[in-house]
Chains A and B, each alone.
Chain A
């Protein structure tokens, strides 16, 4: 638990905190530009498309978040730190890469899991390796999309080129002199 906030600094103020307003501002701005450049029909079309996407996202995101909450309480932080913590070395990056490549599904479940591991003590290098592997090496994507659509030659050539890159990205992330703020306001309120 890295949160130093008073427990009741109220969920509502967290929900409607800074990031929410920034995103709302960007949405209003891009919406206005779309209205101006493409007309009101396009805005309507975009909003309807978003509503459909939202229906698609909600059952997955809710599942992903509850999964993340349970992962946090079930996995002891010592175990997370030992396997993928800041001191886990190259082995930690390789583990994160392998797990990332094996994680199926879209960002709506992957990011909650990343948040959960972050709070449980995984370091940023491992998380960067995990996300890079998930997006670049996804095993499910390889089987379902790459092999059938691109053919084994092209698919395997690409695998050969990229398989080691998540570890590289993770190693760079560990050396960057930037500190990701502990996510005190990301579901750790209680």
Chain B
């Protein structure tokens, strides 16, 4: 690893201040992605600001739902009684991601901040538009590797089918975020200009002309917590993750379903997909279609067809155009217990 400075922050304000005043400074939480990126020289930091001591790991009920501290470990959230009881989709999604060791290290905030696993992004001898300039050392300010998108026309089996741009077809890697997107979470942040709350759907962004930006945070902003509003979705819910091996692999396609049922009728439903876009992909059209309808295979097929409008394959990932709708149907069947 390249050398860097290390600072331990004791308050969120101190952490924000330390990261704001230096362009090459990064918050260090669990480090499961950041340290890997530093080792691979995708990120060459000037300074890491350790936020592991910040008192931001509590999980508590609020008047409107639940608040999860940004520094709560993924394993703790997944096994938490309140989460399992009221928001099982989040628990399922967390347990579908990474390994037990990584979940013991990874935090909720860090999970939201993880970068794509696109192999072109990780190999700075290959073209990629997602890497920013080098942040320290003799090459400071220079682009870290050639520009372009190696995945378009290249090895793109894992890549996006929705919301792509000619600059980038990478996918967002998180499972947890698919659940948070489906459950209409809100992200609370603090920064150089004070506190604000960001609806989860607006937290991550599509690549457009600036694929180096994964999210809508401003420089120096720190995630404090995530709120999930109370819902009636605990009973009919499922997180289906389709991947190359049974466990410990990123999603080819994943589907999060949370529904409120009365008899066979879907009173309300939330649907989101992973492994298909640069951000958690909410299926709003399918949700609208299914609301008030019976949980039948025919309706699920129509919902899946609606979800796939605008999907586009890039060659090696064309199979996702079939895998995704099939996964939606299967996840809906399991969630609504109509298999």
Indicate, yes or no, whether A interacts with B.
Answer: no
Which residues in B have some Cβ–Cβ distance to A below 8 Å? Answer: none
Which residues in A have some Cβ–Cβ distance to B below 8 Å? Answer: none
